Every structure is written in C-alpha cells, then in structure tokens.
Structure 1
Amino acid sequence: MSKPNDSGRVAETQARDHLLRHGLRLLAQNWRCRGGELDLVMLDGDTVVFVEVRYRRHAAWGGALESVDSRKQQRLIHAAQHFLQQESRWARQPCRFDVIALAPTQLDWLKNAFEA
C-alpha cells in the first residue's frame, strides 16, 4: 500500500534521520519484493531492524500505531523473510520489527512492535 507521495517521503526521511541520530545504520530504504515493501531496514548494533513508518495527519482516522494490524504485520514479516534470503549476510543476525508513528507534532518509536 503506497503512502501519499510527499507526506510519505517526508515521514520516511524524518524517521530515517531520527534513527541515524540514535546510532542505527541504514541498510535499505523502500526495499520491495513481490509481497510487500520495507520502509526502512536498519542495523542497531548487530540487530537487523525492519521499520514500518506510519504517518497520520489527523488522529480522527485512527492512530498510526494502530494502523499496523495483523494483516500488515504478516506482509512485513513476509517481506523481511525475502530480504534476509536475498541479503544472506544478515540472515544469522537477530531481527526485530519497529514502528515509527509520525504526526505533525510528534514522533513515537515503538521498538519490538510485534513478534514474527
């Protein structure tokens, strides 16, 4: 599912920059496979972090964190498995799924948002 172009790109850039400032290293951005997309793939120490970036302009439409439902989680897990198959040097590293939820005035980083 694609994000509105400008706000989605801006949100991903803000999220990436926030994570870089916190010492993570960028491995991939907007990585695509047949079954999905990974917004950001980062390295936190030796842990591969798959980051879903969610932006919501208005809370009335539901919060960004709540929008990562079980169906979305399954698509992210599927895409992460494909990433690790194609990028085998990372396959033996620990992994986690984070969500960064952005609103016009805040950024929430939820580490270990869900389990694979």
Structure 2
Amino acid sequence: MNAKNATGALGRYGEELAVRRLTEGGMTVLERNWRCRAGEIDIVARDGDALVICEVKTRRAGPFEHPMEAVKPVKAQRLRHLAERWTQEHGGPPPGGVRIDLIGVVLPRRGAPVVEHARGVA
C-alpha cells in the first residue's frame, strides 16, 4: 500500500470513529464527504435544531502537531464558506443555526484511539 492509500485509510478510520462519537452523543449524521468546487465537508450532522459541519483530523501518535491544532484561520474560513454552500443547496440554515466542530483522533501505538470533540471552533 502506498503512502496516499495509507493516509486515506487512516482518514476514513478516523471519520468512522468520529461518526460513532457523534451518533453516541445523540447527533444525526446527514452526510459524509460532501464535495463542491470549494472543497469538502467531512461530516454534516444535526444536533437538535442546529446544523453541525464537522472537520475530522486523524493522526498517529508522534512528534507532529496534535489534530486539535490543525484548523488554522484559513481552514476555518473555508469551513464557514462550505457550510454556507451546503445550507444554500439544502434549503437554508436551520432554526438552531450552523456550528462548526472539530473532531481530533489520535491513534497511539498501543491501546484505544483517543477521540476529542471540540464544539464551535470556527
């Protein structure tokens, strides 16, 4: 397996864990890997009457940046733009508004993955 396939598999695994965390928390996943010209939303979910745009970052444990530090201002701006596009295509924003969350997944060498959910990051 080449590096790109391995990275894709790692990302998909992280997204599976993220979906599980969201649904266990009572959210409804509406869409995964939604794409438009401007980019991609990893997970679109509903939390009560709010729409949640969820960015998932998965990393193996190691010396690099923690996944929760991965959403810089440029990425946050792109996520807000993508959220706007999604709501335009799906009938406008819901009564509870739109929230952007980040789920960070760290895979240690041994033991269970660590899944962190930060709400309202952008």
TM-score by length of 2: 0.86
The answer for the alignment partner of 1:107 in structure 2 is 115
Q: Is the 2:50–2:94 Cα contact (8 Å) retained in structure 1?
A: no
The answer for the alignment partner of 1:91 in structure 2 is 93
Computing the radius of gyration from Cα coordinates, the structure with the larger value is 2
Cα distance in 2 for residues equivalent to 1:58 and 1:71: 25
Q: 1:21 to 1:92 in 2, by over 3 A?
A: closer
Match of 1:19 among 22, 28, 31: 22
The one-character-per-residue Cα deviations of 1:6-54 (angstroms, maximum 9, x if unpaired) are: 0010100110011111110011100011111100010000000000000
Q: 1:92 to 1:45 in 2, by over 3 A?
A: closer
Question: Unaligned 5+ residue runs, structure 2?
Answer: 108-112
- In the TM superposition, residue 78 of structure 1 has moved relative to its aligned partner by 1.1
SS in 1 for 2:52: strand
The answer for the alignment partner of 1:46 in structure 2 is 49
The one-character-per-residue Cα deviations of 1:46-101 (angstroms, maximum 9, x if unpaired) are: 0000000001113421111111101111111111111001001x524311110000
Q: % of aligned pairs identical?
A: 32
Match of 2:40 among 37, 42, 59: 37
Question: Unaligned 5+ residue runs, structure 1?
Answer: none
The answer for the alignment partner of 2:110 in structure 1 is none
Cα distance in 1 for residues equivalent to 2:34 and 2:17: 17
- The count of corresponding residues between Structure 1 and Structure 2 is 112
RMSD of aligned Cα (Å)? 1.6
Cα distance in 2 for residues equivalent to 1:103 and 1:30: 20
The answer for the alignment partner of 2:65 in structure 1 is 62
- In the TM superposition, residue 4 of structure 1 has moved relative to its aligned partner by 1.8
